[in-house]
Structure 1
Amino acid sequence: MVPVLLSLLLLLGPADPRETQTRPYSLIFLYTGLSKPSEGFPRFQATAYLNDQAFFHYNSEGRKAEPLKPWSQLEGIEDWEKESQLQKAREEIFMVTLKDIMDYYKDGEGSHTFQGMFGCELWNNKSSGAFWKYAYDGQDFIEFNKEIPAWVPLDPAAQNTKQKWEAEKVYVKRAKAYLEEECPGMLQRYLEHSKALLDQQDPPSVSVTSHMAPGRSRTLKCLAYDFYPQGIGLYWTRAGEAQGSESGGDVLPSGNGTYQSWVVVGVPPQDRATYACHVEHSSLAQPLTVLWSDIPETKDKGDLGSQPQ
């Protein structure tokens, strides 16, 4: 389930590490339904995201839409009782659809996952993008094309879903209106409370560490952490030439609203060239360069710190 969620969340994610505050603002809803829930994984859960920050959460156990920090500390951003009722209604439709798909494939005994994702974005106070799509067991299932407008099946079972959802034309009109009007309107309203939070710029802290196992090349690791937003450029150079990373490169949440990333490069035992880690981030006035030097007294692994060049 997790790889699918991560791939879906990249749809409206930042692409350029040097983005400024003119980047789009996005509101995204991510739904997950399980045919066989287990402890810690309810049958249905929904999370709303403002940009890449989780805004509120709902699941089939508590059945309440609850704001997450820091939005839980803001007054008047949403009528949470009304939002809870809306999510309950969406849960029922969502889980009925999952059952319909399982009935089509005659697989009521297996464990299956149904996921939905929809949202919109604003750029300079104007709607600049919207989407609505679903996946079944990690594969594309159906998506809404607001230009036609119609639901486009991407799986054999989705033909039945399309017929059911389009049985009354008003539902197609509502989906189109939601993406083009209601969702951007909600996002605009949320931004009245959240723009300062979403525009925050936290520069990365950077550390360089080295490790050398007996008889092997030295390994250099450059770690950037505590930065926001998530877009970042991070790479090693050898004598000024960019090097491919042996591992790392992903940008991961730190758990405190910021992100971390790292890149690793191998250095042959007799190599005396200059290695440096280069960091680019929208919070930095200029790129940061952190040099690594082979200090004799350094132990197998040590934090060499960071220094702008």
Structure 2
Amino acid sequence: MVPVLLSLLLAVGPAVTQDTQNRPYSLTYHSNGVSKPKEGFPSFQATGYLNDQAFFHYDSETEKAEPLGPWKQVEGMEDWEELSKFQKARGDFFLKNLKDIMGYYKDTGNHTMQEKYGCKLQNNNYCGAFWTVAYDGRDYIKFDTEIPAWIPLQPEALKTKVKWETEGSVQRAKASLEEECTGKLQKYLQFSRPFLDRQDPPSVSITSHVNPGNIRTLKCVADNFYPKPISMYWTQADSVVETESWGEGPLSENGTYQSWVVVKILSLDRGPYSCHVQHSSLAQPLTVTWNESQ
């Protein structure tokens, strides 16, 4: 049972020019701390993301914030030495907070804290922010910019709320999210729009495999596209065919995505069946057809 492979790098004309002014953009920092890391494993790590693209990584072993992907070639966007110093100081404070939280739980041994901090812009204006902290994988506390206040998500987090708010963190946190974060994002976008606004069209392939029970599996795969949103479905004789399953892969090392959609038919069914793909990079929807003779 050799699969039939139709691999098409399809030329469908130039992608439609996209108006990116209304597109939302986000700056997000994911941080992770470990109270008792294994030897050679950093106690603190942080990764910065512009939309879904990681642009720098820091860890407490190297004590260096280093650009990632295409940002390695960008000059002037960030002073990486200063960012390294900032992340080191932040890591020290982060681990101190982890130790405090362990004390509230009366925990010993190895425990973790995760943080997600960031802001969003649309039309170059602030349109939202987030700051959440998790302890051992469970949501622990978050910041609400509207109130503004720290919102405990576990009973023990009330002690953290009282401590942080007594220290005057509420206005600092609000300003950090609504002013400093958005200012950073606006600056970064001056250097990063070509990476974030790019339109990479998908390549599409279909595989056919006959399973036990005389059932044929048809799988349509879209590869190497960006941005992530995509629509895929099967038809036969202009009627939509019910999908057996679908899936999508994470962002790959080359900064693109993969998605697939599967249908199952009788092995004697010769088709034809068509896979339809819609993506913002395509001037028109893309259709690839399978029939048994292929």
Structure number with higher relative contact order (C-alpha < 8 Å, ≥ 6 residues apart): 2
Give the structure 2 partner of residue 114 of structure 1.
Answer: 113
Q: TM-score, normalised by structure 1?
A: 0.83
Q: Aligned pair count?
A: 276
Tell me which amino acid in the other structure corresponds to 1:265. Answer: V
Give the structure 1 partner of residue 76 of structure 2.
Answer: 76
In 2, Cα distance between equivalents of 1:79 and 1:102: 34
Tell me which amino acid in the other structure corresponds to 1:72. Answer: K
Identity of aligned residues (%): 61
**Equivalent of residue 233 in structure 1, options 228, 231, 234:** 231
* Superposition CA RMSD, Å: 2.0
In 2, Cα distance between equivalents of 1:185 and 1:281: 31
Displacement, 1:151? 0.5
The 5 A counterparts of 1:177-192 are 177-192=175-190
Secondary structure, in 3 states, of the residue corresponding to 1:54?
strand
Give the structure 2 partner of residue 161 of structure 1.
Answer: 160
In 2, Cα distance between equivalents of 1:241 and 1:105: 58
Tell me which amino acid in the other structure corresponds to 2:195. Answer: L
1:122-165 CA-partner distances (Å, limit 9, x unpaired): 11111111111112222211110111111000011211111121
User: Taking structure 1 as reference, are residues 238 and 103 closer, same or farther at Cα in structure 2, changes over 3 Å only?
Assistant: farther
In 1, Cα distance between equivalents of 2:215 and 2:50: 44
In 1, Cα distance between equivalents of 2:158 and 2:242: 45
Give the structure 1 partner of residue 46 of structure 2.
Answer: 46
Tell me which amino acid in the other structure corresponds to 1:138. Answer: G
Displacement, 1:234? 1.9
1:91-144 CA-partner distances (Å, limit 9, x unpaired): 1222122222222222312x4332111111111111111111112222211110
Matched, 1:198 2:196: yes
1:80-101 CA-partner distances (Å, limit 9, x unpaired): 1211111112112221222222
Q: TM-score, normalised by structure 2?
A: 0.87
Secondary structure, in 3 states, of the residue corresponding to 2:250?
strand
Give the structure 1 partner of residue 258 of structure 2.
Answer: 260
In 2, Cα distance between equivalents of 1:151 and 1:133: 10
> Does the CA contact (< 8 Å) of 1:252 and 1:261 recur in 2?
no
Q: Which runs of 5+ in 2 are unaligned?
A: 1-17
> Does the CA contact (< 8 Å) of 1:208 and 1:221 recur in 2?
yes
In 1, Cα distance between equivalents of 2:283 and 2:38: 48
Give the structure 2 partner of residue 302 of structure 1.
Answer: none
In 2, Cα distance between equivalents of 1:29 and 1:37: 21
Q: Which runs of 5+ in 1 are unaligned?
A: 1-18, 299-309
